[in-house]
A and B are shown apart, each in its own frame.
Chain A
Amino acid sequence: MSVKVRVPSALRKLTQGRSELEGKGGTVREVLDHVGRDNPELLARITEDGGEIRQFLNVFVNGTDIRYEKDLDTPVAEGDEVSIVPSIAGG
């Protein structure tokens, strides 16, 4: 299952400048693990050591926040788009 992973400009230093990666897997976790093989710093920015998504980091599948689905176990299908978006907030 081939899935696009979109990375915001602020994190492209962790992907050798690439804004779009191709991941393979049947769940978000598998896809992120796959792209993390070549981009370990990106994976470390997304997930905690225990494998869960970091606080203030949002992951969407086709525009749906995976926290409202099955988190990292959210299934993905061929052609889906996974987007990574750090929280935009302040005071």
Chain B
Amino acid sequence: MIPAPPPITGWTWPEEVGRAVLREVRAVPTEEACGLLVGVRREDGGVVVTSAVPAENVESPGRRRRRFLIDPLRLLEVEKSLRGGNEEVVGFYHSHPDGEPLPSEVDRTFMELWPNTLWVIAGITEGGELPQIRGWSLDPDPGEVNEVPVAPSESAPAARARPPHPGVPRGARRPHGAWTDIESPRGKKED
């Protein structure tokens, strides 16, 4: 039995994992890059990310600059590969090609579906500087999105290399949950 995740008190990742995510984000400057974060949760609420697993942004091409959507099958694949170990999917990452690394209203809507999960956002502000990275999590009690500070880890396991995302086959049906499926997202404006 894996206990239900407690509120996240801090997070960290090895430098090489951070560099890999930055490379990925900068490689698609006009689209939101996205992926899964694998790691371990410590009893004190700290999250140690051990690897970042890129995922294809399967939103419709014209919307990828301001939206991302990860095929849920990608999550199932990764979770299956982790069975039997102490690592799990601890969060997700994505980029904001035109903005700060702050959760948008759309992000917050989906964070409600993933309480106590780490959401790392890389924001690319005007000027093309290195993306700024910040971590966030929704605490379901009382339902607030809080910034999660980067906390050094004394027991961070070594990062693990992972194979690149195989991609979604041409003609594959887009997973349900695309932003275009949303008629009225709880009255919140698109952001």
Task: Using CB atoms and an 8 Å cutoff, list the residues of chain A in contact with chain B.
Answer: 6, 8-10, 12-19, 55-58, 60, 63, 65, 67-68, 83, 85-91
Contact = CB atoms under 8 A, between A and B. Distances in A.
Interface range, B side: 35 or more
Given A58-B72, A89-B70, A90-B119, 4 more contacts: A10-B117, A13-B116, A90-B68, A91-B190
Given A8-B75, A10-B117, A87 B176 contact: yes
Nearest to A20: B1
A87 B181 CA distance: 12
Interface in B3-48: 3-5, 32, 34
A90 B104 contact: yes
A56 B67 CA distance: 15
A10 B113 contact: yes
19 contacts: A9-B117, A10-B116, A12-B3, A55-B177, A56-B113, A56-B176, A60-B76, A65-B173, A67-B176, A68-B173, A85-B76, A88-B110, A88-B114, A89-B67, A89-B70, A90-B67, A90-B111, A91-B66, A91-B190
**A-B pairs with the 3 shortest C-beta distances?**
A87-B177, A91-B106, A86-B113
A91 B5 contact: no
A19 B105 CA distance: 29
B49 interface: no
B191 interface: yes
B75 A89 contact: no
